[in-house]
């Protein structure tokens, strides 16, 4: 039975966190300024007042300390959810995440689980300064032992954060900060998909467009523009970056014969590189053109006034579609 409402992605995350806190006393939230302030983006607004400072914990400005403390809490039976204020601030905690959190369960042959969620607002489109608009997802998707996901809609945000918290494995939860404010429909009673499933969001017959996070909205815009030129584009939201659900992607490519992957992150050694290679391996005889990639450039994220030149937009996606159709 559906229970539909409309809210922005930020509020959907807040509602999902509230449901997780209410449903399990072992769930804790940790992060810088997440208490009375509610976090930089107000994702945790009102939660400390509702659940108290022992469950919604303002931490010092020390990402390695946040992650290290979360690991100890997980060992003690808790389910900590860590907020990293901005994407570029995760690196001080990188060693804790990749050297310890990702490996502890394997080190103990499965006997010690690590139910830790690390929430990371990421990506551009907000005109911010250095270290505030990065897309570091490939570092974590490359690391065995971590699950990596990214919602693109409020409904996915509401359900995926709860599923991530219920996971007995560590989950890196990338939140596209530029999508925090647009509203969308949320079904509070029934989830649509499991955590690690990709999703076809628009049907098409001529080319498959694949992306994640904020890029899904760009792909949908490109698909609408392509339709005006007589091109039918199918759009797939990856949702899970590790593991990747390839079945819908491969099924789509076998029908369309062409694929374009788009991402905000730099293109070299990226998620798009891996997915393009896998599709080329597993759907080679169905392809009418090479798998093409549209990405950020292989340079540090530029100053805010230049982000429009760096970030892929619908025009760059359509240019790749034209190249794919020209083969």
pLDDT of res. 113: 97
What average pLDDT is seen over the chain?
97
pLDDT of res. 2: 79
CB 289 within 8 A of CB 325: yes
pLDDT at 1 over 80: no
Q: Which residues contact 46 (CB under 8 A, 6 or more apart)?
A: 14, 38
What number is the average pLDDT over the span 177-190? 96
User: Considering the chain, what percentage of its residues have pLDDT values greater than 70?
Assistant: 100
Q: Which of 93, 90, 194, 104 is nearest to 145 (CA)?
A: 104
pLDDT at 129 over 90: no
pLDDT of res. 24: 98
Least confident range from 16-20, 72-76, 250-254, 300-304: namely 300-304
pLDDT of res. 325: 97
- What is the rounded distance in angstroms from the CA atom of residue 55 to the CA atom of residue 21? 8
pLDDT at 27 over 90: yes
CB 197 within 8 A of CB 239: yes
> How do residues 210-228 score in pLDDT, each as one tens digit?
999 999 999 999 999 999 9
CB 123 within 8 A of CB 96: no
User: Considering the chain, what percentage of its residues have pLDDT values greater than 90?
Assistant: 95
> How do residues 196-214 score in pLDDT, each as one tens digit?
999 999 999 999 999 999 9
Residue 302 is given by DSSP the state P
**What would the 3-class secondary structure string for 245-277 be?**
CCHHHHHHHHHHCCEEEEEEEECCCCHHHHHHH
* Whether 142 is catalytic: no
pLDDT of res. 192: 86
pLDDT at 145 over 80: yes
pLDDT of res. 48: 98
Least confident range from 7-16, 107-116, 127-136: namely 127-136
Bridge partners of residue 208, in order along the sequence: 234, 259
Domains and CATH numbers, the chain: 4-187 (3.40.50.970), 199-326 (3.40.50.920)
| Catalytic residue of the set 26, 131, 132, 212 | 132
What number is the average pLDDT over the span 8-18? 98
**Residue pointed to by tokens 């079945």:** 247
> How do residues 239-298 score in pLDDT, each as one tens digit?
999 999 999 999 999 999 999 999 999 999 999 999 999 999 999 999 999 999 999 999
DSSP 28-70: EEEETT-SSS--TT-TTTTHHHHH-TTTEEE--S-HHHHHHHH
């Amino acid at each position: 039975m559906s229970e539909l409402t409309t809210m922005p992605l930020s509020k959907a995350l807040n509602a999902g966190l509230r449901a997780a806190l209410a449903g399990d006393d072992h769930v804790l939230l940790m992060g810088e300024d997440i208490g009375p302030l509610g976090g930089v983006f107000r994702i945790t607004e009102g939660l400390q007042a509702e659940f108290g400072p022992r469950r919604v914990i303002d931490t010092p400005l020390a990402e390695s300390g946040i992650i290290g403390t979360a690991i100890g809490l997980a060992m003690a039976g808790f389910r900590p959810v860590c907020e990293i204020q901005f994407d570029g601030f995760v690196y001080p905690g990188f060693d804790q995440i990749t050297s310890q959190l990702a490996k502890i369960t394997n080190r103990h042959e499965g006997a010690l689980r690590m139910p830790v969620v690390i929430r990371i607002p990421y990506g551009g489109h907000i005109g911010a300064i250095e270290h505030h608009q990065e897309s570091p997802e490939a570092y974590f998707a490359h690391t065995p032992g971590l699950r990596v996901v990214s919602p693109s809609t409020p409904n996915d945000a509401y359900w995926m954060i709860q599923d991530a918290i219920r996971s007995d494995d560590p989950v890196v939860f990338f939140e596209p900060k530029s999508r925090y404010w647009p509203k969308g429909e949320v079904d509070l009673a029934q989830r649509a998909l499991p955590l690690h499933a990709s999703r076809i969001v628009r049907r098409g017959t001529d080319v498959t467009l694949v992306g994640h996070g904020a890029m899904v909205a760009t792909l949908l815009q490109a698909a609408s523009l392509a339709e005006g030129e007589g091109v039918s584009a199918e759009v797939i939201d990856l949702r899970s970056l590790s593991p990747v659900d390839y079945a819908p992607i491969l099924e789509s490519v076998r029908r369309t014969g062409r694929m374009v992957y788009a991402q905000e992150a730099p293109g070299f050694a990226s998620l798009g590189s891996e997915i393009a290679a896998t599709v080329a391996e597993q759907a080679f005889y169905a392809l009418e053109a090479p798998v093409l990639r549209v990405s950020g450039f292989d340079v540090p994220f530029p100053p805010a006034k230049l982000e429009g030149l760096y970030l892929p937009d619908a025009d760059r996606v359509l240019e790749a579609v034209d190249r794919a159709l020209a083969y």
